[in-house]
Amino acid sequence: MTPALFQQLIGGAFVLLWLAVVVGIALGIRHRFPDQREWSRKVVHIGTGPVVLLAWALGISRWVAVPAAIAVTLATALNHRFRLLPAVEDVGRHSYGTIAYGASIAILLSLFWPSQPLAVAAGVLVMAIGDGLAGLVGPQLHSPRWRVLGQAKSLAGTLAMAGGSLLVLILLQWMAHGQGLSEPALPNLIWMAVLATALEQLSGYGLDNLSVPISTGLLWQHWSS
């Protein structure tokens, strides 16, 4: 076994371990709080995001990352159909969000990995953290509410999405600066957070899980070049 192959196997094992821990926590939350279906789903949503940074740190190559993302997307599609892990899918509404989320990660990896890892990280983490916070904070706080294309939205959730997205982008900008990589300027980060928040409003069938990551990743790449 070559050192490069050994590195990929070790890296892949760490990524799988991380995902297993995330799913395990989600299952535990689902068992402890059976009436809060969204909580376990958002744990998976948020916990999946850092996998991109983990894969970058571990030097996961393109030939491992892209097929793995496609495999995970297919697995989520099967889970959506057969409800093998209800903690991931059973939220009492018709949504393709987990499938779209996996597909967006696969697309971003295909476009930018490994030459522009922070473009991938920006798209994935804005959706993971920003949308994850919106889904957790919005239903818990009393604030003005409205509906967009049949989906309930709130001021608290929208502000959580905007704030979480901007914080993620600023942290990634700091990481890019530390690594000597090109980075978008702060005003562009603000526009990226605003666009991500606007797209999250159009979340029918969970398709914001596709539109938000891809648009954010593309803008990060565009404004970094």
At 109 the pLDDT is: 97
In order of 100, 113, 147, 158, 209, the CA distances from 69 in angstroms are: 12, 12, 32, 28, 15
At 55 the pLDDT is: 95
At 78 the pLDDT is: 86
At 94 the pLDDT is: 59
At 114 the pLDDT is: 93
Alpha-carbon dihedral sign for residues 174, 129, 84, 74: negative
At 204 the pLDDT is: 81
Q: Is the peptide bond before 184 cis (omega within 30 degrees of 0)?
A: no
At 90 the pLDDT is: 53
Q: How many whole angstroms from its chain centre is CA 14? A: 18
**CB < 8 Å & 24+ apart, contacts of 132-136:** 132/42, 132/45, 132/46, 132/49, 132/164, 133/46, 133/160, 133/161, 133/163, 133/164, 134/158, 134/160, 134/161, 134/164, 134/200, 135/38, 135/41, 135/42, 135/45, 136/38, 136/39, 136/42, 136/160
- Give yes or no for a contact between 190 and 155, defined as CB atoms under 8 angstroms apart: no
pLDDT, one tens digit for every residue, the chain (225 residues): 788 888 898 998 999 899 899 989 988 998 888 887 778 888 888 998 999 999 999 999 999 999 999 998 998 888 777 766 665 655 555 568 788 999 999 999 999 999 999 999 999 999 999 999 998 898 889 999 999 987 889 999 999 999 999 999 999 999 999 999 999 999 999 999 999 999 999 988 888 999 999 999 999 999 998
